[in-house]
Chain A
Amino acid sequence: MTNPKAGKLSFSLPSTMESVSEIEAAAEKLAAEAGIDEDERFRITMAVREAAVNAVLHGNDYDPAKQVTASFENNGKSLIFTLADQGKGVDWENLPDPLAPENLLRGTGRGIFLIRSFMDEVHFRQLQPGTELTLVKHITPAPEQSQAS
């Protein structure tokens, strides 16, 4: 890995849980270096971890031949986390609502909900093959938020 302070941190990792931990640690480090408080760091780190789990487990299905690529960046206004897998893709816009009464007792289906809850922006992009998620957390208020407060 390169030093995040030097710019964009980019890396490619095998589809393992060790990679998830490595990605989580890198996200925590970037958020800490940006001066994010502990509670917010927890939310950011969890969102990135959930995205990494999705890539390794649901995207690449632990296939050792497939990689997870990630790039993390602090551009001074936002922390931007981009993760991509090489899987067959998922219809992200039509996932069941985990808060619906009929889904509350389901054992799965909360990862994307947590990501969306904890980040300011979440973007999905279909790759050939694979899926790319971009998670954005603003570290300075957006102009309209400043005016509203």
Chain B
Amino acid sequence: MALTIASRELDGVTVLDLSGRITLGEGSVQLREAIRDLISKGSKSILLNLGDVNYIDSSGLGELVGAYTTAKNQGANLKLLNLTKKVKDVLQLTKLYTVFDVYDDEASAIASFK
């Protein structure tokens, strides 16, 4: 299943609801373009809701890292919300869980940007 990305605004935070797989050829490019688009439009607070992402490969992990560093380099904050067990396991295994701010509920995540 390819990645779908829906965008919404909440209290000054851009929430991207991702659904599907983030893998080479099936979502990594879409994610990269979505983040670049947000950054170019001046978004400073970006929350990636991964609640419906059931698969991520090494390329997808690279895109998450790329999104994080792109945001940081542009003075923006990028955080993660609602990791599925599979995605969380892979992030922990690769120590990327320590890199990202990760939240389990949306209200806390939104509040953390203030």
Contact = CB atoms under 8 A, between A and B. Distances in A.
Interface centre among A39, A98, A107, A108 (most CB of B within 10 A): A107
Nearest to B99: A104
A41 to B, nearest CB: 11
Main secondary structure of the interface of A (DSSP, over half): helix
Chain A contact patch, size range: 20 to 34
Contact of B69 (A39, A57, A105, A108): A105
Contacts of B23: 49
Contact of B93 (A17, A49, A50, A117): A117
A49 B57 contact: yes
A68 B98 CA distance: 36
Contacts of A39: 86
Interface residues of B, number: 22
Interface string A95-136: 000110000111110110110010000000000000000000
B95 interface: yes
B61 interface: yes
A75 to B, nearest CB: 27
A42 B61 contact: no
Interface of A: 17, 20, 39, 42, 46, 49-50, 53, 57, 98-99, 104-108, 110-111, 113-114, 117
Interface of B: 23-25, 55, 57-59, 61-63, 65-66, 68-69, 86, 90, 93-96, 98-99
